[in-house]
Structure 1
């Protein structure tokens, strides 16, 4: 019976790794004030009040109802930084998406691999990509894609839609893309498939493919090389990379960062989810422990998997 009560009170979304330290500190202060007020009439009652409050904060993450919502809405970014919290939740935008976090570092393998987001190459812990000795990805010196729309149109990946003023996948490329998706969906995406798809010239054993809730992260010792909002998004990127390798003449010449940018942009044009069913586009919310923001999201209707997300503020800019 006692265990059932504890389980009902426990809220994993606000405790453990998801605990908001500012919320916890604020509620502990409130608990201390509450305990001191009760202690004026009964010292024992004050101790009980403090003890019960601490237990609730431990199990639930907060004492005062609505604390997480209020914190996300009103706590200044500067205060979050005092507690080592990023005031901007990470958007899972594929390869190279988002800054490295402490959680990313703690989850990585022991071997040192650096993903250089400026040079967009992977190197081991003893060799620099600038040495020119083959450690850089094959296309590290290739020109980046200046304009994604032009790239897609020139390579017959996209074309004007017949029924609306927009761009759509060409039937031919969509067939090639799903021709790569279907076998991958059966075999699964592993580290070797991901590393090969993005063109890292590094041992796949130096990377780790980590599942974090619904999201997937490709990790090295220095942090996350990429984040995807779902398995379907990762599957779509790996399959699209294989499709583009046979569809275009110079796909292998592009650096990993460029490939990541192309693949992330291409994913938003999917009209069929890699796991089956239609997709929808709309505004949704991305949350961390202490903050939240709105994103434009492309989501699988049947499974709820998110294929693409971009900060709404970035779209408006």
Structure 2
């Protein structure tokens, strides 16, 4: 490897470039670079050219030129503009893909996974499902990376890898990578383990999740998580709530299902 190649590798931030590049943030930085370069050109054209070259280089290798770019896009980019760039608002990355055509409650009722409570005012898991699901969660938790790698057919599966791959802003969630490429995100490792365990538990009810459309499967599994009778992580009591979450480019209000004891987030869905 040449000196130039080694330098490029040291400068590059894989979490913000390549497949992981945020288009709105990149466009914002390029516009800022162009405006500043235009202003400098009035004073000194050579300085303007040098600034433009350095700015574009920084954006290419680092992803950002201006520190705090995500804050700018959160504050000034409306949802419709983010959607033009293919960016999902915060709170919709409950994965591997949340959008689908399945109504989780109806589907789970029809397949005998949940039932009405004795008073007829709520829904709950059928007897025996939670112990089976809990045992499957514990098995999946032994090697999350291998389990999710098999599910999503990844070549180099990693779950919340260390080093420079995972941005600090994602530290509270669970991000799955294939090599350096972000593939999917869950609210927590416990939520991922719950989904992986649910696939085995649902098979006993004739539901082949792996054969379903990925969007439908993601929606079904996320919907099932809210019926977990205890925290998949510590066994504590679960509770519904509301919160405000941030992604790279947006802020959103979400409904949550968290553990009262350890705070683990098992489900997160954007409020209407």
Bin the TM-score by the shorter chain. 0.5 to 0.7
Match 2:227 to one of 263, 269, 281: 269
C-alpha contact (below 8 Å) 1:177/1:243 kept by paired residues: yes
| Contact 2:244 2:251 (8 Å CA) reproduced | no
Q: How many residues align?
A: 236
Q: For 1:251 and 1:157, locate their aligned partners in 2 and report how far apart those are by CA, in whole Å.
A: 13
Larger Rg: 1
Partner of 1:93: 94
SS of residue matched to 1:190: helix
CA distance in 1 between partners of 2:130 and 2:196 (Å): 14
Determine if the alignment matches structure 1 residue 61 to structure 2 residue 84: no
Question: How many Å separate the matches in 2 of 1:30 and 1:189?
Answer: 44
* 1:295 aligned to which of 251, 254, 262: 254
When residues 279 and 174 of structure 1 are mapped into structure 2, their CA distance, relative to the original with a 3 A threshold, is: same
Per-residue deviation, 1:236: 0.6
Is 2:82–2:88's contact at 8 Å kept on the other side of the alignment? no
Deviations 1:169-202 (A, max 9, x none): 456322222122223323545248853xxxxxxx
Q: Which runs of 5+ in 1 are unaligned?
A: 1-9, 99-116, 118-143, 196-203
- Structure 2's unaligned 5+ residue stretches are 1-10, 161-165, 167-172
* Pair 1:148 & 2:148 matched: no
Give yes or no for contact 2:238–2:260 (8 Å, CA) kept in 1.
Answer: yes
Q: Give yes or no for the alignment of 1:184 onto 2:140.
A: yes
State how 1:1-317 maps to structure 2 within 5 Å: 15-16=16-17, 17-18=20-21, 20-36=25-41, 39=43, 50=51, 54=55, 61-63=64-66, 67-75=69-77, 85-89=85-89, 91-97=92-98, 148-149=105-106, 151-152=108-109, 155=112, 157-160=114-117, 166-170=122-126, 172-188=128-144, 190-191=146-147, 194-195=150-151, 209-211=157-159, 213=166, 214-217=173-176, 228-246=186-204, 248=205, 250-252=206-208, 255-257=211-213, 259-276=217-234, 277-280=236-239, 281-288=241-248, 290-300=249-259, 305-313=264-272
What whole-Å deviation, never above 9, does each CA across 1:254-296 have from its counterpart, x for those lacking one? 94235544322111222532121444432232423x4443332
Using a 3 Å threshold, how does the CA distance of structure 1 residues 270 and 25 change in structure 2: closer, same or farther?
same
